[in-house]
Structure 1
Amino acid sequence: MIKTLYVRVVLTFLAAVIFGLVSSFFLTSFFYFNLVRAEVQDEMDNDGREIVQMYTLLSSEIKSEYLKSSGLLTNYYISLYDGEQNRTVHGASAPKEEVQLSHQEISQVLNGNTYRSVIGFPDKIVVGIPFVMNEERFAMFFQKGNREGILQKEIFTSLLLTLFMGSLFIFVAARYVVRPLREMTDATRRMSKGDFNMDWKLIKRKDELGVLALSFREMARSLKQLEQMRQDFVSNVSHEIQTPLTSISGFSKVLRNRLMTEEERIHYLDIIQSESERLSRMSENLLKLASLESEHHPYQPHTYDLDEQIRRVIVSCEPQWSAKEIEFELAMASIKISADEDLLNQVWINLIGNSIKFSPKHATIRIDVKRTINEVIVSIADQGIGISKEDQGRIFERFYKADRSRTGEQSGSGLGLAIVNKIVLLHKGRITLQSASGEGSILTVTLPSVPSDFPTL
């Protein structure tokens, strides 16, 4: 039970209250000792001297009555000692805890010294006054009656009452403090079961718990998105792999037909080979993407000519763009960049390959490479089918295809741009898109020119 936050909060609050009350009591008692007690002693000393002075002037017949009446009026318990330390008592009734004076203390007053003492709790204040009457020494001691230490008693009672009422309040208030945390605990249990809906009243609060609840809701939303992405990823992988496997399996069964002509056999074998290569590329891209997303991907930057690299990629794609009679317009300055050449080569292959794939015959692709003070900017503009505004925000997601109806040479796995985006981010750069359906696309890659944390050769 002690392990629960509620009990810990209550015990912490109680410990704080008790510590505060005890500290207050002792501090109050300290000031009382230095201020109130001193005033009481001074008052008793003055009253005692007046009583002694009057006592010495009265006749012996009325001395006893005088002390009795004076004690009752002042609430003093009066003890009178003669030179032989014989004692008589007068005035108020004996206190519940009468101070027992030693012979040495009595002798001290009889020898002419004033006596003052504060004993125990509650306070038992005693004042002793010496005087001489008929050439005989006397000592008169004054002690407060049954109301001694009343201030300390009241303070102590008040503090105990405060502790009791404060404890009751803490038991109730702690439930209010802990309740939001219990709601969050319940929410974590629901999240573990797949329920990410966090519609709490706590979010409207402006205190730390409100901020925590708001952060909790944002975390729940992120987890919900991740869960949806995971489900989509599994679904897309299953679908993308299943399609070529179905084709390979189906056409393999067709090839068992012995009545098939050689031309048909070759056609079906070409389809099986094409689907196998597609499946291989998909597996390779998945492995590459997983490697890029890990923290242990090999990264080997060095300084090289970026414009020459892009020219080599264009030349390697000649069979694709020459078949469509596509022309290239190049505006590339001689620029050196510090980056991983192999990774960036994959970026240009994917981007230029997509531009060729989705451009019509006799189209023009323009590539611009320029440098600013701290950045290198590469823009690839085509005259292809373009991308709608609805799809532009998702084209860098894995397996996302802006045109799901495309087939044949335009088909793909939807992993190319995801890999491109990851490589660009790995180089601390960014990639942006400007496009509209039927109006072509402009993909712009912005990279640091010479990052300070990249080694150069």
Structure 2
Amino acid sequence: MPIKLSFRVLSLIAFLLIAALLSAASVLALLTLNRLAEHSRETGNDAIALTANAQRVAERSVAMERSARQFLVLDDPAFLERFGEAWRDALTALDAMAAELPGGEPPAFADWRRNGQAAREALDMPASHRGAAQLRLDAALAQLPAINSELTHHVQAEVDRRNAAITEELETRRNVLRGQLALSIALAAVLSIAFGVWLARPLRQIESAIGQLGGNRYDVPIDITGPDDLRRMGRHLDWLRQRLADLEADKARFLRHISHELKTPLAALVEGVALLEDEVVGPLAPKQHEITGILRQNTASLQNQIEDLLRYNAASFDAQHLLREPVDMAALLRRVVDSQRLQYEARSLVIMVEGGAPVIAADSAKLAIVASNLLSNAVRFSPEGGTVRFIVAAGNGMLRVDCIDQGPGVAPADAQRVFEPFYQGERQPPGARRGNGIGLSIVREYVTAHGGTLQLLPSSPGAHFRLELPYEN
């Protein structure tokens, strides 16, 4: 059975892997630094020991010379004993130095031992041969300062060599650590990016699926890949999609049925009212004429509302099916304006289409409905003799259409809800029949279907609507 890992578990695994990688690099660097520190400490101690032994040999050489000369003058065995102690101590230091020098001891070590032995042998000569002993002693001790200088030179060379070696090793280790650190950071970055991309993909799919549901796109199945919990969420979203699709189908079916059921008796009412107004069944009194007028007005209003309801339902469905073709937006606006000439001329309005834009690929029929609804809304709210302006422009891959009128505008309280279906604002034109609030909703449905946006911009006086549609340069 395959192991199912959730988003949280995978995120934790990714974090632990990256943390382990960086921790390993840090531990390795710490161990390397500890080794270097220990090596440096040992080298320093060895250098101190070598220098101390060289100084000790030089000091013992002076003590040997002083004790030997005192013995020859005073003939006191104590001075001979002091010479022996200094000589043995110098030999011990000499052996310690020789052990620390690589490649065998230099000839100077043998020279020092030979001259020291010669000085000892001169002191062991009988008292009757003091003159010869003095000469041999002077010859042996005279060479020790030069030999001591040479020994010091060898020691200093060895110390310098060891310092150079530790410096070279430090530089080598630093380069290795730099490479290891760079590799660790690169691997951590690669792991972070890989896990981020892999884990972000199902999140983008979920975001797209939610946007799809919000856009009433119920015909595309939702399939989320990735961790187990996100796949399970995808299955829930797909169930929600199917449920919403069923509800949408039920709503459309209900609207079709109820409109059909209402239109038949409503037609009978309209016909009956018409017969009464024509006095087919006999003359009507003035009060009866007034009642039939009220009946005619309300049946007409009811009939318009049913037709608007069906039109909004059809627009919600049609918005999902675009028939794109080359569209010149400025020319389309002029055609729409010309088609409503009677309405706006009856109120002495001036309709202006300004600017221009490149041809875009869009559904001309739906954009014509968008323009028609914006124009009808502006004409309805504009005062007698007012002006309505359509301004067409393009830039940065967006085609922009501004519709500006001189009416009362949209109340601040209505600005957030003006695009909701069946919502009517508080500022209505005096004496006009109240609308049903679906015109701007249909405009938004069609604009959103084209991937565009519809906004209400601040304007005083009047209303300023701006729609933007993307296009390819």
Q: Which has the higher helix share?
A: 2
TM (normalized to structure 1)? Answer: 0.47
TM (normalized to structure 2)? Answer: 0.46
Q: Which has the higher strand share?
A: 1
Q: Which has the higher Rg, Structure 1 or Structure 2?
A: 2
